[in-house]
Structure 1
Amino acid sequence: MMLSKNKLSILCFIISLGTYAQKKNTNTKPYPYGNPVIKHMYTADASPHVMPDGRVWMVTSVDHEDGGGYATMHSYHTFSSKDMVNWTDHGEVLNIYDVIGKNEEPKGEDWALWAPDMVYYEGKYYLYFPVRILYKEGGYDEKNRKTTAYIAVAVSDSPDKKFKVINSKIEGTNGIDPAVFIDDDGQKYLYYGSHMAAKLKDNMTELDGKPVKLDVDDERFMEAIWMNKKAGKYYLSYHTHYDKPIDPKNPDDLFRKKSRLDYGISDNPLGPFEYKGIMNYELGVNVNEGPKYPGKNYVPWRLYQSNHGGIVEYHGEEYLFYHTSALSSWRQDEFKEAGTWTQRSVCIDKIVYDESGQIRPVQQTLSSVAPVIVNQPYEIILDTKSNIIKNNIIEFKNIDLGTGYYYAGLNIKGIKTPTKCAIHLDKADGELIGTFVIKKDGKTETLLRNANGKHTIYLVFDKNFSTNTTITSAKIFAGSPK
């Protein structure tokens, strides 16, 4: 059978990828650019959140130092930063054998830990992760292989300590790439799989009702769901279906489906979502700085397809976390070839919105982002003695929230039945920035969104509020990194 020149070129490229996959990471020279941000190991699938210490934390998948593909992804690491540039590796927080419960995989099964998410709620850190099992009797061919996948959850008192599995399979889940979203009204949501979402119970370990299939106005929706909220709108981003491989002679082929991050917008966290366009082009697109693939005008990692996004807002800017194989290309042969597509590394670049609220496609860079410098107190203590509760409302005037505060805390007593306390800006029915879910006397906390600038803050209790209830202390915190 005769192959066309184009098909022969692609076949040779596939064979060459296999060769690249066997290369060792022998180059020990310091990586010369800002992106990727983690340079001493391979990291992927970053999930970024601002935590109560005021730092940005991310949990990542780990690609194996010796390659071997997605089946060798067996652990998670956490990292933190106070400026988005300098990152501390806090080490491994969960391993595949913590999940299996013994130091070997069941016979005939190939287990892996793929893209995770980590969130904070009421004094605990919750790690959501997909368990993906391939049954070897079906082989590794995409058409014939037999697999199963579901979402599990682990917990820790600190994001830099080992996590303990507390629900080895969340009943009702089937799929990969979990992402957890806590809305301003206190409701928690779990997104996963290709199109699935469900409410989470306050225990953070079980679904609250049946999952729903999301109505997303895009037939190319594939995986890697992420939920972000801005100006009252819900932004659902995801990795698209794509054609492979990339022809090295024509990487921007107009007729090939691209491995992008696209997004849709809705007025409801469960949709329907209206398709809005591209958030992140294929890896290496429009990266005009830096090294070039031999004989070409694009960077070496332009030839690989893998896109997974996480978004965080930090002191007035939003950032996209994604991954490339740039570090692999450097560590193998100083950018002479493409690297290994399953040895990925986390990159960070800015997200920019236009005047209509749509996201402009992210400009991928080698320099990454500028350092964030925060100059404000870590916490603001609210005066609960001079300000008293009237008609279920307490008011705090002229509070300077600076460039952003991310959590609020109450110490309360006299709770007879579970109640909620909404946090509004400027009016008792003004912009909602967070909600305390108060189950009993004592300390309670909530995530804040869009808490910046100078405002009067209103705490508004619901109808279950008791007149015998008193607030012994209140604070706004995580306004600068510890």
Structure 2
Amino acid sequence: MNKKILILAVGIVLTFSVYGQKANINTKPYPYSNPIIKHMYTADAAPHVMPDGRVWMVTSVDSDNGGGYSTMHCYHTFSSADMVNWIDHGEVLNVWDVLGAKEEPEGEDWALWAPDMAYYEGKYYLYFPVRIVHTENGYEEGKRKVTSYIAVAVSNSPDQKFKVINPKIEGTRGIDPAVFIDDDGEKYLYFGSHWGAKLADNMKELASDPVKMDVDDKNFMEAIWMNKRDGKYYVSYHAHYGKPVDPDNPDDPKRMKSLLDYGISANPLGPFKHVGTMNYELGVNVNDGPKYPGRNYVPWRLTQSNHGGIVEYHGKEYLFYHTSALSSWRQDEFKAEGNWTQRSVCVDEIKYNPDGTIVPVQQTVSGVEKVTIDQPFEIVLYEGKKELNENKPIKYEKIDLGTGYYYFGLKASQVTKPVKVEIRLDAPNGQLIGTLIIKGNGDCETMLRNANGVHDVYLTVNDNFKEKVVFNAPRFFAGSPKKVKQ
């Protein structure tokens, strides 16, 4: 036998042995709606509504050929106009783009794990962890030496290649970055073992020293995500867990569970009070799916991995997470659990109790209902020029924001220095739904939160604003999805 073929064959056998992995030999169509991406393995979804009114997510990619987490080398973006039908926009970043070479340095094994993506001032920013295993000590957990930090890349469009603009954000460490833009315009980056810091306006470096947030030190493991609802900050994360799952006792109370837990705070950097569980282990209470042979649970109940991303879209909130359901199907037609390092993104709805606590998500194989949107893409509030004045908030009466508008913009002129414009509902000091920072002449825009229903809309400026700014064409937009090229 050819020596190269022999080495390759041995490598494949070792890979299958180490990760308990089987070949993806089943080519029949996957029979359910969840996972939402069925032609490849995707994980760690980060969803956001972008200025085109569509939900976009960037995902990690698990290799079809196996090899585990060390073979995660690229990111794809996907978008949807209805939460059901998703378009794959292809690879947007690869480990070779980060390395600037086609091979790894001697003694190093590079991987790209869970990312996040944000839109700011006309650009799209991709935050991702660079994870390097220094192979002199091997890969065994507890012995391996690992370096990890956060980097950032930029693109003009989420369906185009991203270019690395900072290969290592100073002050960052660890994995799983999450970016969050607050209603007051402040930007935050979260990463590693519950670290958080403000992001600079250039989006490529920190604007404050990182702080280690008070977030459930006993259970917090990884996969931090920030969400805001009704003025409260919800931090969610993957909790520490025990393995393996016993097929005869998967709910063993003595084993720590692979959960998505969450805490609530009045501040984006905490402290956060642990509240409960947002998402149970994979496959828990999935009653409408296939059964593991001889058991009353779905096959992927025996795998562990949990990573959440949350988005609100036209009146409902959705949890993006991943399971090994597709792997179970492609390997064994649901006769075994699949491979927990070949994951696939699922989506189910998040519901809340009256007190703001989260009802643990009901995982399904049927997925969510199709979202139908019947309203214009944009609402122009006024045609003509107006002047911003600290003493005279500008009021627009009874604006119908329908099921939601996600961005606000205008065209400014005669700008001599930056000014913050608050967008509020029903009163000059009413609910803040976004803050527009006008830095110069021309078009400017900002994201919004809770911009729905019929309201009087007020534009107000900060008290120390003494300059003159003229603007026209104020508008709400991204209220319905645009079509994109496939």
Q: Distance in 2 between matches of 1:376 and 1:40?
A: 32
Amino acid at match of 1:237: S
**Distance (whole Å) between structure 1 residues aligned to residue 21 and residue 307 of structure 2:** 24
Aligned match of 2:424: 424
- Whole-angstrom distance in 2 between the partners of 1:393 and 1:146: 57
Aligned-residue CA RMSD (Å): 1.5
Tell me the residue number matched to 1:459. 459
Output the amino acid matched with 1:224.
A
The answer to whether the aligner puts 1:394 opposite 2:397 as a matched pair is no
Larger deviation: 136-145 or 179-188?
136-145
User: 1:221 corresponds to which residue?
Assistant: 220
Counterpart CA distance in 2 for 1:149 and 1:288 is 39
1:476 corresponds to: 476
SS in 1 for 2:190: strand
Please state whether the residue corresponding to 1:26 is helix, strand or coil: coil
Q: Cα gap change, 1:386/1:132 in structure 2, threshold over 3 Å: closer, same or farther?
A: closer
Query: Which one-letter code corresponds to 1:254 in the other structure?
Result: P
* Residue pair 1:414, 1:466 contacting (<8 A) in 2 also: no
SS at match of 1:424: strand
In structure 2, give the amino acid aligned to 1:448: L
Determine the structure 2 residue equivalent to 1:8: none
The answer to whether the 8 A contact 1:47-1:59 is kept is yes
Does residue 442 of the first structure (1) align with residue 439 of the second (2)?
no
Greater shift, 58-67 or 457-466, is seen at: 457-466
Deviation at 1:389, TM superposition (A): 4.2
Q: Counterpart of 1:344?
A: 343
Equivalent positions of 1:322-333 (< 5 A) are 322-333=321-332
8 Å CA contact 1:20, 1:338 repeated in 2: no
Cα distance change on mapping 1:328 and 1:48 into 2, 3 Å: same
What CA deviation, in whole Å up to 9, does each residue of 1:418-471 have, x standing for no partner?
A: 111110000000000000112111111101000000011111112454553111
Deviation at 1:24, TM superposition (A): 1.2
What does residue 115 of structure 1 align with?
114
Residues 100, 422 of structure 1: alpha-carbon distance in 2 compared, 3 angstrom cutoff: same
Alpha-carbon distance in structure 2 between the residues aligned to 1:418 and 1:163: 29
CA distance in 2, matches of 1:360, 1:367: 19
| 1:269-322 deviation per Cα after TM superposition (whole angstroms, max 9, x unaligned) | 010000100000000000112211111111110011100000000000000000
Verify the 8 A CA contact 2:289 2:364 in the aligned structure 1.
no
Query: Which residue of 2 is the match for residue 27 of structure 1?
Result: 26
Cα contact 1:417–1:464 (8 A) shared by 2: no
Q: Aligned letter for 1:196?
A: W
Partners of 1:324 and 1:308 lie apart in 2 by 9
**Distance in 2 between residues matched to 1:453 and 1:407, nearest whole Å:** 15
Q: Which residue identity is paired with 2:165?
A: I
CA distance change for structure 1 residues 173 and 389 in 2, over 3 Å: closer, same or farther? closer
Residue type at the aligned position of 1:444: C
Question: What amino acid is aligned across from residue 473 of structure 1 in structure 2?
Answer: A
How far the C-alpha of 1:388 sits from its partner, in A, is 5.7
CA contact 1:387–1:395 (8 Å) conserved in 2: no
Counterpart in the other structure of 2:238: 239
Aligned pairs for 1:264-413 (under 5 A) are 264-385=263-384, 389-390=388-389, 391-413=391-413
CA distance in 1, matches of 2:19, 2:104: 28
3-state secondary structure, aligned to 1:205: coil
State how far apart, in whole Å, the 2-side matches of 1:202 and 1:389 are.
23
Do the aligned partners of 2:424 and 2:457 also contact (CA within 8 Å) in 1? Answer: yes
Q: Which residue of 1 aligns with 2:8?
A: none
**What displacement does 1:473 show?**
2.0
Partner of 2:57 in structure 1? Answer: 58
Q: Quick one: distance in 2 between partners of 1:460 and 1:406? A: 19
Change in 2 beyond 3 A, CA 1:205/1:16: closer
Work out the number of aligned pairs and report it.
468
TM-score, length of structure 2 as denominator length: 0.94
* 1:136-155 equivalence runs, <5 A: 136-155=135-154
Question: What aligned pairs does 1:177-256 form with structure 2 within 5 A after superposition?
Answer: 177-256=176-255
Deviation at 1:416, TM superposition (A): 1.3
- Distance in 2 between residues matched to 1:211 and 1:19, nearest whole Å: 37
Residue 164 of structure 1: CA displacement? Answer: 0.1
Cα distance per residue 1:188-218 (max 9 Å; x no partner) = 0000101100000111111012000001245
Give the SS at the match of 1:23.
Answer: coil
Distance in structure 2 (CA, Å) of the matches to 1:99 and 1:20: 27
Contact 1:407 1:445 in 2 (8 A): yes
Give unpaired runs (5+ residues) of structure 2. 1-13
Q: Deviations over 1:159-203 (max 9, x none)?
A: 000000000000000110000000000000000101100000111
AA matched with 1:306: S
Matches of 1:392 and 1:114 in 2, distance apart?
49
Match of 1:4 in 2: none
Compute the TM-score of the two structures, normalised by the length of structure 1.
0.95
- SS across alignment from 2:96: helix
Q: CA deviation at 1:133?
A: 0.1
Aligned residues with identical type, % of pairs: 69
Cα displacement string for residues 364-410 of structure 1 (whole angstroms, at most 9, x for unaligned residues) = 00000000000000000011538664525211111100000000011
Deviations 1:127-146 (A, max 9, x none): 00000000000111111100
**Whole-Å Cα distance in 1 between the matches of residues 191 and 127 of structure 2?**
10
Once the two structures are superposed, what CA deviation does each residue of 1:226-269 show, in whole Å capped at 9, x if it has no partner?
00000000000000001111111110001110000000000000
Q: Distance in 1 between matches of 2:427 and 2:384?
A: 21
What SS is found at the alignment partner of 1:97?
helix
2:392, 2:208 → 1: CA distance? 31
Which residue of structure 2 aligns with residue 106 of structure 1? 105
Letter in 2 for 1:296: R
